[in-house]
Amino acid sequence: MLANTIDWKDIKSYEHSQNTAFEEVVCQLAYNENKENGQYIRVKAPDGGVESYLTLDNGNEIGWQAKYFFDIQDSQFKQIKKSFETAITKHPKLVKYYVCCPLDRADPRIKDKKYLQDRWNDFAEECKALASGKGMTVEVEFWGAFELNNKLQKPINSGMVQFWFGGDNFSKTWFTEQVNTSIKNLGPRFTPKLNVEIHGINHNFDAVLKNEQARTYIFEKLNVLYKALKSLKGSCDKYGLDIKDDFNKLSNCLVDSWQNISRGDASVILIENTYDIAVKEIVRLSGSILDKISKESRTIEGESDRRAFQNDKYEFRNATDDFEVESQAFNLFNHPYLIVYGDAGIGKSHLLGDFSNKLIKDNKPSIFVLGQTLTDTTNPWTQILKDELRLDCNEDVFLGVLNTIGHAQQERVPIVIDFERRQRTFILEKYVGRLY
């Protein structure tokens, strides 16, 4: 579907609401345009007058408000005004406010008549005056159907057009049927009655998905390390050991990781050179602190003082070791590419099928493809998109769709491929090289 043929009344419902779907489209367009311009935050209801906002490096904010209106009369202007008043109250650093509606403003410029463009201009001036009364200067701009359609025409947003306006493809029913068909074709290799929960692999799967369970688990590990670091810093200060520089660097690294995880960006494709959790740097700084205090701790006098200090040091070392042991899962949070390998017959196919099946049962999408259906003579993307999924789109649009869903549900959509050992090199070259 072309973006310039979009009928906004045909937008696919999300969470049983076209209004919610429109809010998602606005937020995803705003994110795609501004993800590198500051810290972008998606707001859940109650929204504080904005669906999302961008915090710039200087602390100022830009906000977006979505209204699924196809006509704007007095009652609609009152709703928009109420949202704006809330926004300037909740966001005193606001400098720009976008009002987004799927309609265009009539502007025939007929004498003695006011059309929507005229009424909008009056309304924007009223909003600026309200902000000025609070000592704020806020620009109020309009994203209508024309502006929104133009943004959707950009290649980066092609997946959004396919998902939100592409009909029945990528519906819950579509994902369910796709996974169930692949599981059925596994035959005896998939046996639900023999399911066994494997603690370690589940953490890895959660990290690949970047889901709430993964965030909670990683938060816990970061928190344990941070508390141990603070205790160690207190002991070092008490006994005159200077770790201030490394302490500040590691503290900042941990806090940045917390904040990045909290944002919940669930893209399938990461922005180049960006990492949610600075795993290597956290491990390096922790090791640097341990090396330094191991040498300087010999200067502490008194057995009881040395013992107290050693306890704090061991707690920090244990927290560091535990963090490093879990680093595989943390790295999957940053780089969502997991290869499960092993001897034939140990249950790999069942494990992958079960993973996809559980997601479907939780009303979350997944793609599950069997390598036995793929040949090494044709591009695997062509085989999967055309033959397996029956889709009329290229891989960029397909991955864009999965990114769109991931953003909306704040959890990645996995592509699970149960390939055969002989296909390993072929698959890695064609898929991981394309995704990374």
DSSP assignment string, 332-363: HHHS-------STTSSHHHHHHHHHHHHHHTT
Rounded to an integer, the average pLDDT of 160-181 is 92
Angstrom distances, CA of residue 181 to CA of 278, 317, 389, 402: 39, 49, 11, 20
Tell me the average pLDDT across 395-422: 89
pLDDT above 90: percentage of residues in the chain: 52
pLDDT above 70: residue 253:
yes
User: E strand or H helix at 94, and its extent?
Assistant: strand 94-100
Which of 334, 351, 373 delimits the end of a domain?
Answer: 334
Flag whether 219 is in a domain.
yes
Dist. CA 339–CA 337, nearest whole Å:
7
Residue that terminates a domain, selected from 334, 358, 380: 334
Closest to 280 in 3D by CA, of 316, 226, 322, 331:
331
Q: Residues 271, 356: contact at Cβ < 8 Å? A: no
Cis peptide bond N-terminal to 46, omega within 30:
yes
Do residues 304 and 425 share a domain?
Answer: no
Same domain flag for 18 and 95: yes
What is residue 109's predicted lDDT score, i.e. its pLDDT?
58
Whether 410 shows a pLDDT value over 50: the answer reads yes
Same domain, 131 and 227: no
Query: Which three-class secondary structure state does DSSP give residue 98?
Result: strand
Strands 367-370 and 415-418: parallel
Average pLDDT value for the chain: 86
pLDDT attached to residue 172: 92
Q: How is residue 17 annotated by DSSP?
A: B
pLDDT recorded at residue 88:
97
Q: Tokens 């244990």: give the residue.
A: 318
How many domains, the chain? 3
Residue 358 lies in a domain: yes
In terms of domains, do 133 and 13 share one?
Answer: yes
Q: Is the Cβ–Cβ distance between 65 and 100 less than 8 Å? A: yes
Q: Is 187 helix (H, G, I), strand (E, B) or coil?
A: helix
pLDDT tens-digit series, residues 254-311: 888 887 777 655 443 333 334 566 788 888 899 999 988 877 666 777 778 888 888 9
Same structural domain, 237 and 294: yes
Residues 326 and 361 both lie in one domain: no
Q: Strand 94-100 to strand 139-143: parallel, antiparallel, or no bridges (unpaired)?
A: parallel
Both 127 and 14 in a single domain? yes
pLDDT over 90 (residue 90) = yes
Same domain, 252 and 342: no
Give the amino acid at 31. Answer: Y
Q: Which domain holds residue 140?
A: 3-165
